[in-house]
Homo-oligomer: A and B are copies of this chain.
Amino acid sequence: MSQEAREQAVLAAVRERRQQVNDAIDEDLPMAEPERLYEASRYILEAGGKRLRPAVLLLTAEALSDVDAADAEYRAFPDLNDGEVDVMSAAVSIEVIQSFTLIHDDIMDDDDLRRGVPAVHREYDTETAILAGDTLYSKAFEIMLQTGAPPERTLRAVQTLAETCTHICEGQALDIDFETRGDVVTDEYLDMVELKTAVLYAAAATLPALLLSADEETIEALYNYGVKVGQAFQIQDDVLDLTVPSEELGKQRGSDLAEHKKTIITLHAEEHGVDVEGLLDADDPEDVTDAEVEAAVQRLRDVGSIQYASDLAEDLVAEGKAHLDVLPENEARHRLEQIADYLIERGY
Answer yes or no: A33 CB below 8 A from chain B CBs: yes
Q: What separation, in Å, do the CA atoms of A170 and B142 have in the docked complex?
A: 15
Q: What separation, in Å, do the CA atoms of A145 and B142 have in the docked complex?
A: 15
Contact partner of A158 (CB less than 8 A), chosen from B37, B145, B176, is B145
User: In the assembled complex, which residues on chain B have CB atoms less than 8 Å from the CB atom of A139?
Assistant: 162, 166
> Interface size on A (CB < 8 Å)?
39
Binds B, one of A123-131, A201-209, A289-297: A123-131
Contact partner of A134 (CB less than 8 A), chosen from B137, B154, B161, is B137
Q: What separation, in Å, do the CA atoms of A138 and B172 have in the docked complex?
A: 14
Give A residues with C-beta under 8 Å from B: 33-34, 36-37, 104, 107-108, 126-128, 130-131, 133-135, 137-139, 141-142, 145, 151-152, 154-155, 158-159, 161-163, 165-166, 169-170, 172-174, 176-177
User: In the assembled complex, which residues on chain B have CB atoms less than 8 Å from the CB atom of A137?
Assistant: 134, 137-138, 165
Q: Would you list 12 pairs from A and B whose C-beta atoms are within 8 A, ordered by A residue?
A: A108-B130, A131-B172, A131-B176, A133-B134, A135-B166, A135-B170, A137-B137, A138-B163, A138-B165, A138-B169, A142-B162, A145-B158
Chain B: CB-nearest residue to A40: B173
Chain B: CB-nearest residue to A178: B34
User: In the assembled complex, which residues on chain B have CB atoms less than 8 Å from the CB atom of A134?
Assistant: 104, 133, 137, 165, 169
User: In the assembled complex, which residues on chain B have CB atoms less than 8 Å from the CB atom of A165?
Assistant: 134, 137-138, 141
Known: A37-B170, A137-B138. 14 other contacts (CB 8 A): A34-B174, A36-B177, A37-B173, A104-B130, A104-B134, A131-B173, A131-B176, A135-B166, A138-B162, A138-B165, A139-B162, A141-B141, A145-B162, A155-B155
